[in-house]
C-alpha cells in the first residue's frame, strides 16, 4: 500500500477526532494478527525441511528398485538364449527329416508324371499312326498339360528326347490331317461314308495343335476351293465386265451346295467368312485387270450394272457376317434437302452421328494394311462394303459425264417450259423450275449415293455446282435490261428500264427463287457432306453458288427500283410544266402528285405481298433514296416560282411525303416502319426547306438559306434567286452580301445552264448531263453531285447504299457482293 493509499485508509478508519479513541484496540488487533502470521511461517519452514529429507530417501529407494529390475531382465534374457539353443539342438534332426520328405514327394510325383508322359506319348504315337483323330485330340491335350510340368527340366536328356518325340508326332498328325483334307471336294466324301466324320475328328486335332496349323489348313482349303474359280473366270469368255454377276452367282452356288459338307468345320473357324474374304480379294484383282485392259471407255450401262450387282453382293456379305445397311438412313437425309426447317435435330448432332458411323465403315484397303486386325472373326473390324466395288471408282468418270449431260438437258428443258409466272394458289411464290431443279438433283444424288460415296460423288457434286451456276445465269438473263437514275449511275447501268406490272411480279419471283436456291444449295452441301467419305467432306462447299444467287437477288432488286423510278418520269416532267410563277391560289395537291400516288398504289401492294420483309425493306430504302433527291433536284428544273406557286409546291411536297410514309401500311409490312419513316422524313425535309427558302422575303432570303440549308453553295443560292424571279442586278447585290458572310460549304452545285425546263428525267440524268461538261469524272464526283442535289441525301441514303456495296466487295458472301461485277 503506497503512502497515499495508507493515508486514505487511516482517514477512512478515523474520520473524526472522536474516532481516535479506537486506536488502541486496533493496534492490539494488528499485533495479534502479526503474531499469528509469524507462527504460520515458522510452521511452514519446518514442514518444508522435513519434506526435503523424505524426498531424498524416496529417490534412493527408487534407484535401488530400478537396479534390481535391470538385473532380473538380464537374467531372463540369458535364460531365453539358453532355451533357444536347446530348442535348435532338439529340432535340427526334425528339419532334416522335413526336407527329405519334401524332396522324396517331389521326386515321386515327377517320376509318376514322367511315367504318364512316356505312356501318353507312346499311346499318341499309336493313335497318330492309326489316324484315331478323336482320341488323339484328347491325348494331345493331356500330353500338353504333362509337358508343361517339365518346363524346368528342359535340359535333362530324357525330357529333351520326349519333347522331340512329341514334336515329331504332332508333325505326323499334321501331315495326316492335311492329307485327309486334300480329298475334301474331290467326291471321295460321297464314296466313303465315314470320311466326313473322320475329317470332323481331325478338326479336333487341329484345334489341339498350334493356332498356326489351323490358319494354314483354312488358307489351304480356301485356296483350293478358289482354284477352279480362277481358272473359270480368267478365261477369255468370262473375263468380261458384263459377266460380273456370274462371279457372285458362282460363289453363292458353291456355298449353298457345300453347306452340309462344310459343317465338319467348327463354327469358331468361320470358314465361310474366310472363304468370302479370299473370294472378294481375288475378284477385285481380276476386275481391276479387266477395267485396266479395256481399249476404250466402258459402256455406262454395263459398268453401272456390274457395280450395282457388286454392291448388292457386298451388302449380302455384310448382313450375313455382321453390319447392317445404312442406305435407308442416307436416303432419309437426302429427302431433307429443301425442307430443313422441319428438322428439329441440330446439324452438329447429325454430323457427329455420321462421323461415328463412317468411322466404323472405313475402306477395305485401310483394313488390309492393318496387320494387327483379327480377320478370322466376323465383325472384328473387316468391312465387306467397298472391298470389290472400290475398284470401279477410277473408271466412273463416264457415269459422271452421263449425269452431267442429263442434268444440263433437264435444266434447258425446265427453263424452256418455265412460264415465269406463279399460280395464285401458290404459297411460296417460287418459280416451278427452281423446285423441279432440286428434285432432279435429289434424284441424281440418290442414284449416285447408292453406287458410291467417294470421288465419284464428289465429282457429281461439282456437276451440281455447275448446274446451279448455269441456272443462276438463266435467272439473271430474264431480268429487264438497261436502267437509269441515281442507283443506275452508281452501278454503271446505262439506258432506261421500263417495267410493267407483270415484269415487276417476274422480278419478285426471281428474287424469291434465287433466295430459295441460295438456301437449298446450302442444305444440299450439308447433306452431301454427311453422305460422302469423311476425307472428302471438307471439300463440299456451295459458297460460290450461293454468291451467284446473291448477285441475282441484288441485281433483281436494283432493277425493280430502276423500273419503278422510270415510271415517275412522266410525273416529274409534269411537275416542271406546271406554271408555278402564275398560280393565283393554293388548291388541292397537283395532278403529278396524284400520278405518283397512283403508281405507288398500283405497284406497292403486289410487291409487298411477293417480297420477303428483308428484301422489301431494301427496296423501300433504295426507292426513298432515289425519289427524295430526285424530287429535290426537280424543283431546280422549274422556271419561275411565285410565292403562291411555292406554297402549292410545299403542299405537294408534304403530300408526296405522306404517300411515301404510307407505303409500309400499303404493303402490309410494318416490321421496320419506324426506321423507314425517319429516313423518308429526313429525305423530304430537304425539299421542304428549299421551298421555305423560296417563300422567304428577299431581304432575308440569304439568312433563311443559311439557316435551313447550311450546306448550300453560292451557285445553288443563285439558282434559288432565279426561281424567285429576281433580276440580274438584284441577284448580284444579294449574292455579294451572301458571299461576304461565306457559305457553309464551297463544293460545286447545279449550274444555271441546267435550270431551264426539259423533259423530265431522273436526277441521275442531270448528273450524266453535267458529266459531259467535265463536272463528273469518277464515282467520287457522283457522290459530290448527289450531295449538291439532295443535300443530306448523299450522306444518308444514296451514299449509305454505295458504302454498303463497296464494303460488300471484300466479303465472301452476302446479297451485295457482286453488285458492281454484273
* CB within 8 Å of 634: residues ≥ 6 apart: 572, 575, 576, 760, 763
What pLDDT digit, counting tens, does each position of 441-491 carry? Answer: 999 999 888 888 889 999 999 999 999 999 999 999 988 886 445 555 555
In angstroms, the Cα distances linking 109 to 113, 354, 667 are 6, 63, 107
Residue 185: pLDDT band (50, 70, 90) is low
The three three-digit cell numbers of residue 538, written as one number = 471438307
Of 553-562, 664-673, 686-695, 805-814, least confident by mean pLDDT is 805-814
Assign residue 423 a region (left: φ > 0; alpha: ψ between -120 and 50; beta: otherwise).
beta
Give the mean model confidence (pLDDT) for residues 323-346: 50
* Best CA proximity match to 754, nearest among 643, 649, 639: 639
Helices (DSSP H) in 500-612: which residue ranges? 501-531, 543-567, 569-577, 591-610
pLDDT at 345 over 60: no
Kindly report the three-state secondary structure assignment for every residue of 768-808: HHHHHCCCCCCHHHHHHHHHHHHCCHHHHCHHHHHHHHHHH
Q: What pLDDT band is residue 435 in, cutting at 50, 70 and 90?
A: very high
**Segment among 111-115, 338-342, 344-348, 581-585 with least mean pLDDT:** 344-348
90-99, 420-429, 650-659, range with the lowest pLDDT? 420-429
Average pLDDT over residues 551-557: 91
In this prediction, residue 188 carries a pLDDT of 61
**Which of residues 654 and 422 earns the better pLDDT score?**
654
Report the pLDDT value the prediction gives residue 668, as an integer from 0 to 100.
Answer: 73
Closest CA to 142 of 161, 158, 118: 118
Element housing 376 (H / E) = none
- Decide if 629 contacts 793 (C-beta within 8 A): yes
Cβ-contact 748, 559 below 8 angstroms: no
pLDDT digits (tens, 9 = 90+) for 256-300: 888 888 888 888 888 888 889 889 998 888 888 888 888 778 788
What confidence score (pLDDT) does residue 362 get? 46
Is the pLDDT reported for residue 809 higher than 60?
Answer: no
Distance linking the first and last C-alpha atoms of the chain: 116
> Which of 775 and 3 is assigned the larger pLDDT?
3
Percentage of the residues of the chain whose pLDDT score is greater than 90:
14
Instruction: Quickly list H helices, 638-778.
Output: 643-661, 663-667, 673-695, 701-708, 714-723, 728-741, 763-772
Per-residue pLDDT of 748-796, as tens digits, reads: 333 333 333 323 333 333 333 333 323 323 333 433 333 333 333 333 3
SS3 for 513-532 is: HHHHHHHHHHHHHHHHHHHC
- Exposure string (b/e) for 701-721, b if CB count within 10 Å is 16 or more? bbebbbebbebbbebbbbbbb
Residue 557 near residue 615, CB atoms below 8 Å: yes
pLDDT given for residue 352 in this prediction: 46
142: left (phi over 0), alpha (psi -120 to 50) or beta: alpha
- Structural contact between residues 632 and 574, judged by C-beta atoms closer than 8 angstroms: no
Using CB atoms within 10 Å of the CB of residue 280, give its burial: 0 to 12 exposed, 13 to 18 middle, 19+ buried.
Answer: buried
Lowest mean pLDDT among 47-61, 174-188, 314-328, 438-452: 314-328
Maximum mean pLDDT: which of 406-410, 598-602, 798-802 = 406-410
Question: Environment class of residue 451 by beta-carbon count within 10 Å: exposed (0-12), middle (13-18) or buried (19+)?
Answer: buried
Cα 294–Cα 297–Cα 302 angle in degrees, nearest 5: 90
Q: What is the mean pLDDT of the chain?
A: 77
Residue 193's pLDDT band (cuts 50, 70, 90): low
Average pLDDT for 633-640:
87
CB of 546 closer than 8 Å to CB of 604: no
Which of 313, 317, 327, 455 is closest to 382 using CA atoms?
317
Name the more confident of 778 and 410: 410
pLDDT computed for residue 363 by the predictor: 44
Amino acid at each position: 500500500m503506497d503512502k497515499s493509499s495508507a493515508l486514505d485508509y487511516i482517514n477512512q478508519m478515523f474520520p473524526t477526532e472522536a474516532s481516535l479513541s479506537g486506536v488502541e484496540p486496533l493496534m492490539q488487533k494488528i499485533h495479534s494478527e502479526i503474531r499469528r502470521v509469524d507462527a504460520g511461517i515458522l510452521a511452514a519452514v519446518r514442514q518444508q525441511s522435513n519434506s526435503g529429507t523424505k524426498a531424498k530417501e524416496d529417490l534412493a529407494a527408487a534407484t535401488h528398485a530400478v537396479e534390481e529390475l535391470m538385473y532380473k531382465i538380464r537374467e531372463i534374457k540369458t535364460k531365453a538364449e539358453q532355451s533357444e539353443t536347446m530348442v535348435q539342438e532338439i529340432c535340427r534332426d526334425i528339419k532334416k527329416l522335413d526336407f527329405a520328405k519334401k524332396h522324396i514327394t517331389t521326386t515321386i510325383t515327377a517320376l509318376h508324371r514322367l511315367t504318364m508322359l512316356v505312356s501318353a506319348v507312346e499311346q499318341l504315337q499309336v493313335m497318330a499312326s492309326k489316324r484315331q483323330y478323336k482320341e488323339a485330340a484328347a491325348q494331345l491335350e493331356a500330353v500338353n498339360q504333362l509337358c508343361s510340368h517339365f518346363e524346368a527340366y528342359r535340359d535333362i536328356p530324357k525330357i529333351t528326347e520326349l519333347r522331340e518325340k512329341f514334336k515329331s508326332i504332332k508333325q505326323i498328325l499334321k501331315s495326316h490331317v492335311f492329307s485327309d483334307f486334300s480329298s475334301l471336294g474331290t467326291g471321295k466324301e460321297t464314296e466313303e461314308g465315314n470320311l466326313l466324320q473322320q475329317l470332323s475328328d481331325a478338326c479336333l486335332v487341329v484345334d489341339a495343335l498350334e493356332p498356326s496349323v489351323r490358319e494354314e489348313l483354312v488358307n489351304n482349303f480356301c485356296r483350293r476351293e478358289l482354284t477352279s474359280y480362277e481358272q473359270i473366270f480368267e478365261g477369255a469368255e468370262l473375263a468380261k465386265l458384263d459377266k460380273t454377276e456370274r462371279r457372285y452367282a458362282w460363289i453363292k452356288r458353291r456355298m449353298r451346295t457345300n453347306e452340309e459338307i462344310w459343317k465338319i468345320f467348327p463354327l469358331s473357324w468361320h470358314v465361310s467368312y474366310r472363304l468370302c474374304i479370299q473370294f472378294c480379294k481375288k475378284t477385285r484383282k481380276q476386275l481391276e485387270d479387266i477395267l485396266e485392259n479395256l481399249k476404250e471407255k466402258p459402256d455406262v450401262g454395263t459398268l453401272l450394272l456390274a457395280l450395282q450387282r457388286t454392291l448388292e453382293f457386298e451388302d449380302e456379305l455384310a448382313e450375313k457376317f455382321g453390319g447392317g445397311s445404312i442406305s435407308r438412313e442416307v436416303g432419309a437425309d437426302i429427302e431433307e434437302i429443301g425442307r430443313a426447317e422441319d428438322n428439329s435435330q441440330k446439324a452438329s448432332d447429325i454430323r457427329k452421328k455420321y462421323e461415328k458411323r463412317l468411322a466404323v465403315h472405313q475402306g477395305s484397303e485401310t483394313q488390309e494394311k492393318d496387320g494387327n486386325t483379327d480377320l478370322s472373326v466376323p465383325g472384328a473390324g473387316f468391312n465387306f462394303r467397298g472391298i470389290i466395288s472400290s475398284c470401279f471408282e477410277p473408271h466412273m468418270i463416264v457415269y459422271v459425264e452421263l449425269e452431267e449431260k442429263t442434268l444440263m438437258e433437264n435444266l434447258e428443258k425446265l427453263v424452256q417450259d418455265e412460264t415465269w409466272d406463279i399460280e395464285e394458289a401458290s404459297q411460296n411464290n417460287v418459280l416451278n423450275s427452281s423446285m423441279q431443279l432440286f428434285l432432279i438433283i435429289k434424284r441424281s444424288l440418290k442414284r449416285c449415293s447408292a453406287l458410291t460415296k467417294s470421288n465419284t460423288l464428289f465429282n457429281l457434286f461439282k456437276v451440281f455446282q455447275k448446274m446451279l451456276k448455269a441456272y443462276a445465269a438463266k435467272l439473271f438473263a430474264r431480268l429487264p435490261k438497261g436502267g437509269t437514275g441515281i442507283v443506275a449511275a452508281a452501278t454503271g447501268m446505262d439506258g432506261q428500264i421500263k417495267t410493267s406490272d407483270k415484269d415487276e411480279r417476274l422480278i419478285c419471283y426471281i428474287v424469291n427463287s434465287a433466295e430459295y436456291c441460295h438456301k437449298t444449295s446450302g442444305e444440299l452441301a450439308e447433306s452431301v457432306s454427311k453422305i460422302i467419305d469423311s476425307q472428302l467432306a471438307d471439300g463440299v462447299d456451295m459458297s460460290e453458288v450461293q454468291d451467284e444467287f446473291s448477285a441475282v437477288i441484288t441485281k433483281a432488286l436494283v432493277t425493280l427500283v430502276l423500273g419503278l423510278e422510270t415510271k415517275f418520269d412522266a410525273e416529274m416532267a409534269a411537275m416542271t410544266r406546271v406554271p408555278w410563277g402564275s398560280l393565283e391560289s393554293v388548291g388541292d395537291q397537283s395532278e403529278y402528285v396524284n400520278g405518283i400516288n397512283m403508281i405507288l398504289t398500283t405497284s406497292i401492294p403486289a410487291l409487298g405481298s411477293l417480297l420477303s420483309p428483308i428484301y422489301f425493306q431494301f427496296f423501300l430504302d433504295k426507292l426513298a433514296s432515289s425519289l427524295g433527291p430526285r424530287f429535290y433536284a426537280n424543283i431546280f428544273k422549274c422556271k419561275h416560282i411565285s410565292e403562291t406557286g411555292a406554297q402549292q409546291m410545299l403542299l405537294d411536297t408534304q403530300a408526296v411525303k405522306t404517300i411515301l410514309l404510307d407505303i409500309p401500311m400499303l404493303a402490309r409490312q410494318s416490321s421496320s416502319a419506324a426506321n423507314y419513316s425517319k429516313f423518308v422524313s429526313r429525305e423530304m425535309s430537304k425539299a421542304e426547306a428549299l421551298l421555305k427558302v423560296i417563300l422567304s422575303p428577299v431581304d432575308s432570303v440569304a439568312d433563311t438559306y443559311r439557316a435551313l440549308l447550311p450546306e448550300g453553295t453560292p451557285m445553288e443560292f443563285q439558282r434559288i434567286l432565279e426561281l424567285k424571279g429576281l433580276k440580274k442586278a438584284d441577284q448580284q447585290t444579294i449574292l455579294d452580301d451572301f458571299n461576304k458572310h461565306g457559305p457553309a460549304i464551297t463544293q460545286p452545285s447545279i449550274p444555271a445552264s441546267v435550270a431551264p425546263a426539259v423533259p423530265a428525267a431522273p436526277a441521275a440524268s442531270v448528273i450524266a448531263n453535267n458529266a459531259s461538261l467535265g463536272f463528273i469524272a469518277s464515282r467520287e464526283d457522283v457522290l459530290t453531285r448527289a450531295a449538291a442535289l439532295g443535300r443530306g441525301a448523299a450522306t444518308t441514303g444514296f451514299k449509305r447504299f454505295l458504302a454498303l456495296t463497296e464494303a460488300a466487295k471484300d466479303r465472301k458472301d452476302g446479297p451485295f457482293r457482286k453488285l458492281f461485277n454484273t
